[in-house]
Amino acid sequence: MIMLDKCFIIAELSANHGGSLEVAKETVRAAKRAGANAIKLQTYTADTITLDVKSDYFKINQGTVWDGQYLYDLYKGASLPWEWHKPLYDLAKEEGLICFSSPFDKTAVDLLEELNTPIYKIASFEITDIPLIKYVASKQKPIIISTGIATIEDIELAIKTCQEEGNFDITILKCTSAYPASPKEANLLTIPDIAERFKIKSGLSDHTLGIEAPMIAVALGAKVIEKHFILDKEVGGADAHFSLDEFEFKQMVDAIRLTENLMGKVDYEMTDKKKKSREFSRSLFIAKDVKEGDILTEENIRSVRPGYGLHPKYYNEILGSKVNNDKRKGEPLKWGDLKKEKK
């Protein structure tokens, strides 16, 4: 994986190019402005992902905004022309963005290899395409795999397939294959479970609306966040209804970075600042004037703020001790103020 000190944030272009290379290019620029680390494409044609058959098998009927369309027609309109890949890769490089893609067949992998893609993404519905995963893994590039429809066995097999090719740089993304996904279906606790169960990097491919899920995912240990990105929702398109625009994506990035700062690290170090702040902690003070030889009681010593006196843990130990000098109310109690013998 292209390692970062912080969460790797991916802007998913997907079908949000509106059939225009210029829109796609401006989307790349907007992703950079919004704070993304990478822009991700999808590399397929209608013919490489499905069949041009007008039967019920190929007609969408899943309770989605795409219902009634045939798969071939949907993908024909949503696909990114292959000749656009190089100019988008080149532009991303100029902008300082990482550009990579999800291939959907071997020919797409071959195209991406020509572009020297730095990462591969296996889309949610392709996690069962073991021959594709095997071919991608053989290229020895980092692999990100979404789990939208996956069983535990599917995930295990995908990981095993990569590792058998000698490819161990694998990140598994929790994903809910609903567009948009309901918060009730997010189940973000799966993210740390993936990391623990499979001993692998984990993250989130998010289809919920809003930016809350990525924030929580990062707090749960997500190393990668992927979110669909669009230049202008008013333009519409296959994925517009669950994508973030530049303003929203920037809000998400800022929220993620804030979350990372808030999470910080496990820290018990006693810094100079903490030491200074301990002056506001409690300690033992004289609460009523005492004379030399007087006995310390609950009436004349108390545990109060600030912290210039003895630690409160000694309170019971010193009750009954005699003071060896006069002390006024409000003076901190020190070991040197006590006589060794007790009453």
Rounded Cα distance between 80 and 14, Å, is 8
Q: What is the pLDDT of residue 233?
A: 85
Residue pair 60/69 in contact by the 8 Å Cβ criterion: yes
Q: What is the pLDDT of residue 288?
A: 97
* CATH classification code of 8-44+79-263: 3.20.20.70
Q: What is the pLDDT of residue 343?
A: 44
Whether pLDDT at 184 is above 80: yes
Domain 272-342 indexed as CATH 3.40.1350.10: no
Whether pLDDT at 164 is above 50: yes
Half-sphere exposure of residue 313, counting CA atoms within 13 Å on the CB side? 1
Q: How confident is the model at residue 1 (pLDDT cuts 50, 70, 90)?
A: low
Whether pLDDT at 149 is above 90: no
Q: How confident is the model at residue 14 (pLDDT cuts 50, 70, 90)?
A: confident
> What average pLDDT does range 141-156 have in this prediction?
96
Burial class (CB in 10 A: 0-12, 13-18, 19+), 179: middle
Whether pLDDT at 242 is above 70: yes
Instruction: Tell me which residue of 178, 85, 110, 101 sits closest to 142, measured CA to CA.
Output: 101
Please write the tens of the pLDDT for every residue from 40-83.
Answer: 999 999 999 999 999 999 998 887 777 888 999 888 988 999 99
Rounded Cα distance between 180 and 31, Å, is 21
Please list, residue by residue across 201-212, b when 16 or more beta carbons sit within 10 angstroms of its beta carbon and e when fewer do: bbbbbbbbbebe
According to DSSP, the residues that pair with 215 across neighbouring strands are none
Overall size of the chain counted in residues: 343
Which residues, in sequence order, are CB contacts of 62 under 8 Å at separation 6+?
A: none
Question: What's the token pair of residue 171?
Answer: 């990140």
Q: What is the pLDDT of residue 50?
A: 94
> What average pLDDT does range 19-29 have in this prediction?
95
> What average pLDDT does range 285-314 have in this prediction?
97
> What average pLDDT does range 148-165 have in this prediction?
96
Return the percentage of the chain with pLDDT > 70, whole number. Answer: 97
Q: What is the pLDDT of residue 341?
A: 65
Q: What is the pTM for the complete model shown?
A: 0.87
> What average pLDDT does range 283-311 have in this prediction?
97
Query: What is the β-pairing status of strands 8-12 and 224-228?
Result: parallel
Question: What's the token pair of residue 148?
Answer: 């939208």
Q: Can you give the C-alpha Rg of the chain in angstroms? A: 31
Rounded Cα distance between 326 and 310, Å, is 17
Quick one: CA dihedral 88, 7, 119, 178, positive or negative?
negative
Q: Is 267 helix (H, G, I), strand (E, B) or coil?
A: coil
Half-sphere exposure of residue 166, counting CA atoms within 13 Å on the CB side? 3
Rounded Cα distance between 306 and 284, Å, is 9
Segments making up each domain of the chain, as ranges? 8-44+79-263, 272-342
Return the percentage of the chain with pLDDT > 90, whole number. Answer: 83
Whether pLDDT at 3 is above 60: no
Whether pLDDT at 342 is above 60: no
